[in-house]
Amino acid sequence: MTEAARFRDRAVTIMGLGLFGGGAGAARFFCEQGARVTVTDLRSATDLRESIEGLRGLPIEYVLGKHRAEDFTGADLVLMNPAVALDSPFIQLARERGVPVTTEMNLFFQLCPGRLIGITGTNGKSTTTALLGHLLGRAGFPTHVGGNLGGSLLPTLPRIAAADLVVLELSSFQLQHLEAVGRSPEIAIVTNVSENHLDRHRDMEEYVESKRNILRFQGPDGFAILNADDPVVSAWTTRGARLLFTARGEVPEGAFVRDGRAVFRRAGRETPVLPVDEIPLLGRCNVENTLAALSAALLVGARPDALRAAVHGFRALEHRLERFEVRGGVEYYNDSISTNPASTLAALDAIARPVVLVLGGSSKGLPLEELAGAVQRRARGLVVYGAVREVLLQALERAAPKEGARAEIRSASSFEEAVDLAMALARPGDAVALSPAFASYDLFRNFEERGRRFKDLVRRRFAAGASGS
């Protein structure tokens, strides 16, 4: 019997279907293994319609808008969404009854026969994951890409061979559970670590420790690729895995920039790869992301010439510094993925124009002072909206410079008004960027819905002639 076949005729409860594919992929996997599947989620069928529609026809019992104790105490296995709080009383009920509790990612780590490459970080992990998957695929390696990027790889397990490469974006929530499995990726990439998700983690220390799980269980054949320019990550060490760094200046081992060119150095040998001005992504942060992806690809044997050609063909992911419109001399950027201050400040660095910034959303419990001071200095205009509007306006007022130029600030009572005000503030030569610095859950189901709404509103305004251009 295969490892996966052990689920036949077993009662499996999936707690948290979600909207990003992990819960739906797990439900499909267990159905295909012959399990009796119950999906329970506090959200309604309307909220979860896309996920439910994707599972149409499968023998799943849905319990929505509530949880039932019997679905946890009577199960043979409970699979919890990584966003579920660790102290959930329903999870405690299952454990008290001796019911095994796992997560979609933990289960994948246990069952996957392929070579795992994991990417984490506060910012840049999605782009690095997608870029590395693109590079490896173009270089001819059998490659599977998934994880926090969206979608579950559990249903693809029967098609993953031992020699295949599996590239996974890993969030702090997913990594937090890995200690139960005791496996880390063979190659681990950490892009950066700054304050985030303090509404979920007890403190910054817990958040950092969850990230460290990506390399905590590596063996002597493993590689850890760390950002030497990040003050937190650069100090990390491994327990036997080989350590490489990425940096904008030279490093003893790893990828760096010298004379405008990305160079990979290992065991005393240097491999030039490409001029950094050929990277088709905006910003210093994306140079760092590209160095990390190139390092991993070279470690598994990709040829530098194949990687250079593949980099040229890569484009920014949706919602990640995505330039989607240019009208009247103004560029429009959808950076809805920016749900923390560090990501928004990286966007301001990357856009080589005066920026009118759409800022706001719901709080993650992060401090506002540094963000407020930085955007006052670096943005030409700010439009503030959402649940954080009043406290953010107060922080911006406290951070306003006593003398000299300060950002033009507007307050919007709705997201639609925020877009209108930003477009009205923009001048030829400017950029308008949705780079909110906060989560989307006050007004939207997720950052993707927020980003698409932003693009739709901008395009509708132009279609209606509202811009005057």
Q: Which amino acid is at 116?
A: L
CB 307 within 8 A of CB 137: no
Q: Which residues pair with 65 in a beta bridge?
A: none
Residue 9 host element (H or E): none
Distances (CA, A) of 67 to 15, 64, 88, 97: 8, 7, 11, 17
pTM of the model: 0.86
Burial (CB count <10 Å: 0-12, 13-18, 19+), residue 270 = exposed
* Cα gap 434→419, rounded to integer Å: 9
106-312: what CATH class? alpha beta
Three-class SS state of 14 = strand
* Cα gap 151→14, rounded to integer Å: 15
Distances (CA, A) of 34 to 77, 103, 156, 242, 370: 14, 19, 16, 41, 52
Q: Which residues pair with 119 in a beta bridge?
A: 169, 189
Residue of 230, 252, 254 whose CA lies nearest to 244: 254
| Comma-separated ranges of CATH 3.40.1190.10 domains in the chain | 106-312
Distances (CA, A) of 298 to 80, 135, 199: 36, 10, 38
| Comma-separated ranges of CATH 3.40.50.720 domains in the chain | 10-102
Spell out the per-residue pLDDT of the chain, length 469, in tens: 355 578 999 999 999 998 777 899 999 999 999 999 999 999 999 999 989 999 999 999 999 999 999 999 999 999 999 888 888 999 999 999 999 999 999 999 999 999 999 999 988 999 999 999 999 999 999 999 999 887 799 999 999 999 999 999 999 889 988 888 999 999 999 999 986 555 565 667 888 888 999 999 999 999 999 999 999 999 999 988 999 999 989 999 999 999 999 999 999 999 999 999 999 998 888 999 999 999 999 999 999 999 999 999 998 888 999 999 999 999 999 999 999 998 999 899 999 899 999 999 998 888 899 899 999 999 999 999 999 999 999 999 999 887 666 789 999 999 999 999 999 999 999 999 999 999 999 999 899 999 999 999 999 999 987 544 4
* 322-462 CATH fold: Protein-Tyrosine Phosphatase; Chain A (3.90.190)
| Comma-separated ranges of CATH 3.90.190.20 domains in the chain | 322-462
DSSP string, 423-436: HHH--TT-EEEEEE
10-102: what CATH class? alpha beta
